Structure 1
Amino acid sequence: MIEATDFRNAMSLLTTAVNVITTAGEAGLHGFTASAVCSVTDTPPTLLVCMNQSSRSHAHFVDNQVLAVNVLSTQHEQLSNAFASSKYSSAERFQLGEWEHLETGSPILQDALVSFDCEIQDIQQVGTHSVFLCRVLAVKQSEQEESLVYFNRAYHQVGQLEHA
């Protein structure tokens, strides 16, 4: 049997994009930082987003049934940390960026690398997490060219830097 610590250590070596996942609706405005996001299919466009069931905003995502995946650029490290920290309220977190809305009303970070506006189609409970299967309703891409990624428990940059 694989120990949870061994699994987490191994997973720290899987390079992942850093995302801020947001929701808005009758259950309120909430968000969290996630690396567990991936494409499921392009027909229909569908993403998978994993969220810890013990998260303080978990019920809000379940109740709102919508979310946005905001893929962060290199300048968003502070924003990522704020959405991952329990010391900030939801209101304080959203003061750190410039936000807009597309189809669902979930907050879209204006200068995210790319944002996917989604409605949650299905929720599966797997161990400590909920797996949201999300139908993509709208996409907004920016001019950013550098992605913020997480590898070996640290932030890194992937992409092309413009040379002056």
Structure 2
Amino acid sequence: MSALETSAFRDAMSRLGAAVNIVTTGTQAHPIGFTASAVCSVTDTPPTLLVCLNRNSRVREFFNEGQPLCVNVLSSAQQALSNQFASPISMEERFSLGHWSSLATGAPVLEEAVATFDCRISQCVEVGTHSVLFAVVEALRVNQHLGGLVYFNRAYHPLAPSES
């Protein structure tokens, strides 16, 4: 069996739609953050998420076991914020958009997020080019009336808010 071509794998993965998130650590005084779509639930007992982060990312050194990690799920109106956090600009410039506060861990929380999962990193596992960060949720917030933002086929797609 031959090795799978990286480009073929990436093309297929582009068809796996995912929520767009801003993942943060640090504090409001010294915030760190990046855009991520590789975020998912692991278990609800205890409530745990995983986040994948490229090992070569300039922010990787700040995401370690015991540190805070906050997943801010973006709304359909926040494509510019996603692009800003994915760009090579400074952290100060990244955090210039949006309104930021904190919950239990002190990590930056985006007030306008669809949902916020305020966590503490319990484990880091290195797999290939990425670090898989497991994070136990300590607090959360949900904005019921906002639509979501997904990334599918290398493009953003808005989701309408639920009718309930």
Do these two structures clear the TM 0.5 threshold for a shared fold by scoring above it?
yes
Question: Between Structure 1 and Structure 2, how many residues are aligned?
Answer: 159
> What is residue 40 of structure 1 aligned with on the other side?
42
Cα distance in 2, alignment partners of residues 23 and 160 from structure 1? 28
Q: Give the deviation of 1:29 after TM superposition.
A: 1.9
Q: State the one-letter code of the partner of 2:4.
A: I
Which has more helix, going by share of residues? 1
Structure 1 runs not aligned, ≥5 long: none
Query: Normalising by structure 2, what TM-score?
Result: 0.92
Cα distance in 2, alignment partners of residues 43 and 63 from structure 1? 19
Moved beyond 6 Å, runs of 4+: none
> What is residue 67 of structure 1 aligned with on the other side?
69
Cα distance in 2, alignment partners of residues 91 and 64 from structure 1? 24
Q: State the one-letter code of the partner of 2:92.
A: A
Cα distance in 2, alignment partners of residues 160 and 103 from structure 1? 27
Query: Normalising by structure 1, what TM-score?
Result: 0.92
Identity value in percent: 53
Q: Give the deviation of 1:64 after TM superposition.
A: 6.7
> What is residue 107 of structure 2 aligned with on the other side?
106
Could you tell me whether the CA contact under 8 Å between 2:147 and 2:158 is conserved in 1?
A: yes
Structure 2 runs not aligned, ≥5 long: none
Please state if 1:147 is matched with 2:148: yes
Aligned counterpart for 1:54 among listed residues 53, 56, 60: 56
Q: Deviations over 1:107-141 (max 9, x none)?
A: 11001000000000000000010000100000011
